[in-house]
Structures are given as C-alpha cells and as structure tokens.
Amino acid sequence: MAGAINMSIDQAILESTAVSGQTTLRFYRWTPATLSLGYFQKAKNRDSHSPSIDCPIVRRASGGGAIVHDDELTYSLCVATAGTIAKASVDLYDIVHHAIRKSLAEQGIAVSLYEATADETVKASKDDPFLCFQRRAVGDLICDGAKVGGSAQRRLKNTLIQHGSLLLSKSEFAPELPGLKEQSGVEVDVQCLIDGVRQRLEETLGITFVADETSTNEQTRAHEIETKKFGSAQWLEKR
C-alpha cells in the first residue's frame, strides 16, 4: 500500500484499540517505494538525499529519522495504555526486537541489540544523519555492524503504538544502507519471520493474536484520516 494509507490504517487501528482495549499486531509493506519523514524532520531536508528524490513522501506520527520503505518489512503494535503491556512501554522495544532476533536466528541470520559504549551519546539531536538507519539508539537491531531494524513509539489518548522497520535488502533508493541479505548472505523468508515474531510475542505478552482484516469502520476511518492528515500537504509540510 501507499505510505499515506499505511499510516492512516495504523491510526485507525489505534483509535479502535482505545475503544476495545485489544492489542493488535500488524505487518505490512509499501508500494511504491516511499520515503517517510520522522514527525520532527523538515520536509525540505528530503532534498539532501538524492537517491530517494523520486520516491513519494509521507510524514510519520512518530519521531526519528527518514526511512526508505522498499525491500523492507514494517510492523505496528497497538496497545491500550491501561493494560499491563503498555505499563512496561520501554521494555516493549526489547520485547519486540528480541522476538525478531530469535525468529531471524531460526533462519541462520545473526542479529543483536545495540548497546552504547560508556563514552557514546545516543540521544537525538539536530546533527543526526537524515536517514534513520544511519543513526544508532539503544536496542536497535544490528547485523554484522550495520543497523537493520529500529522502532519508535507514539501515544494517543489512552493508547500506544509502537512501529518499526526491518531492512530485508539494499534498496536502489538508499544504496548506502545494506540490509539483512547483504549482511548475512541469507534471503529472509518473510512469512516465517512474521509467524515467528507473532508466536514469540504471544508467549511473552501472554496473549493470542487472531488473524483478521481491518473492519469496515476502520477502513472508513482510515480513508478519512488519509484525506485530513497523512495524505494532506498541510501535514507533510508541518515542519
């Protein structure tokens, strides 16, 4: 799906979570290849990255650096903040990333969670690289020295969304960023990865996910959000 509707579906599901209290895990891809800006990035800065200049652009509701969504897998996890899962929101990063790490290990792909050295600063600053995958944060997924996965969170009323990106292989629109295929020499079986992550999150969080489609109400709401927010020039040019 295109970037604006992908972001809008996530928000529609998040709004549903506020009513139902249910935890929802979603995996998705982007078509065509799209550049997403972090909430606080300036739109004009996309001109600084020439390989992605012809990609459509969208602004996320969460912070961080720009991401080129091409041969990449995105996930979103929506939870109610009144529940026990969200009370450990800081731990959610590690919980999801360890689920990804263990699932990749089953395919012979070794990744680790990034740990900063004692003399290293990993706080966000205006001097950070434009692309998210050229930055480092504690808990990022690292494969043979390169960042291949990261996540961000955003709260809305009594809900929380955590979403993240996993680079499957190098994109022509971001040739400076190697993916899991380049770093490990193994091509990821995406469906096996999804199944493994889901199963591990069920075990760790003590819940059961039921495969389902977005509801009619969520689809309707997503298109409303797309028109008013993620698909609008006003939102894109917010910074």
- The three-state (H, E, C) secondary structure of 146-209, written as one string: EEEEEEEEEEECCEEEEEEEEECCCECCECCCCCHHHHHCCCCCHHHHHHHHHHHHHHHHCCCC
Active site residue 143: no
Q: What is the pLDDT of residues 157-210, one digit of tens each?
A: 889 999 999 999 999 999 999 999 999 999 999 999 999 999 999 999 999 999
32-87 confidence digits (pLDDT tens):
999 999 999 999 999 999 999 999 999 999 999 999 999 999 999 999 987 656 55
Cα dist from 174 to 128, 131, 134, 135, 225, whole Å: 17, 9, 11, 14, 29
pLDDT, tens digit, 9 for 90 and up, residues 124-160: 556 789 999 999 999 999 999 999 999 999 988 889 9
pTM: 0.92
Q: Is 126 exposed, middle or buried (0-12, 13-18, 19+ CB in 10 A)?
A: exposed
Examine residue 178 and say whether the peptide bond preceding it is cis (omega within 30 degrees of 0). Answer: no
Q: Is residue 100 within 8 Å of 149, Cβ to Cβ?
A: yes
Taking the domains of the chain in order of start, what are their residue ranges? 3-236
55, 78, 132, 143: the catalytic one is 132
Beta-carbon count within 10 A of 88 CB: 11
- How far, in Å, are 48, 49, 51 from residue 238 at the CA level? 18, 19, 23
CATH number of the domain located at residue range(s) 3-236 in this protein: 3.30.930.10
Q: What's the rounded Cα separation, in Å, for the pair 113 and 177?
A: 18
User: Which is it for strands 34-37 and 57-59: parallel, antiparallel or unpaired?
Assistant: parallel
Q: Structure tokens of 105?
A: 């290990």
